[in-house]
Amino acid sequence: MAPRGSGVRVSTGTGALAGTEADRAAIADVVRTFFAAFTSGPDSAARLDALRGVFLPDAVIVRTCGLVPAVYDVDSFIAPRQALLTGGTLVDFREWEVHGRTEVFGDIAQHFCSYAKAGVQDGTPFTARGMKTLQLVRTTDGWRVSAAAWDDERDGLEVDPGWPGAGSA
């Protein structure tokens, strides 16, 4: 079982597929790789290539953010972000997880987290926060993201102040 307060809940079933500390560690690595990809500067292309490796080939990624949901496949999600992160108009950018929780049952898992981002777009500094959800499945190659979705704060929508870390982004 995950340590109390770790943000990770592992099923209490028995057997090899019930969820283990190794699962927790592997999923945490996937989440770190996911967020590390959204950093401008040197090695952006390599981080985005690593991001491609944590998705199933047919994964679905959805951006909501108060707009009509935009649905991407892996390549259509990564391509514009690669252009943005390497094009020079967005600098000093990064995204990071503020607080997350993971639940595992057998070969499926869900990671739900708050996140923050900051950067300089066309000379103007900005910060933002939101929530992301990652659905993961166990494959023969390890845990992979099968779906991801996110929504950002905006007028009338903010990360719940009671969510751990909500005031520290």
**pLDDT tens, 83-123?**
999 999 999 999 999 999 999 999 999 999 999 999 999 99
Kindly give the pairing relationship between strand 142-152 and strand 124-139: antiparallel
CATH for 17-152?
3.10.450.50
Q: Quick one: which H or E segment has residue 58? A: strand 55-63
The band of 167, judged by pLDDT with boundaries at 50, 70 and 90, is confident
With CA atoms as reference, report the closest residue to 134 among 89, 77, 82: 77
**pLDDT tens, 66-77?**
899 999 999 999
The band of 165, judged by pLDDT with boundaries at 50, 70 and 90, is confident
* Measured CA distances, 30 to 53, 83, 90, 134, 145 (Å): 9, 23, 25, 10, 8
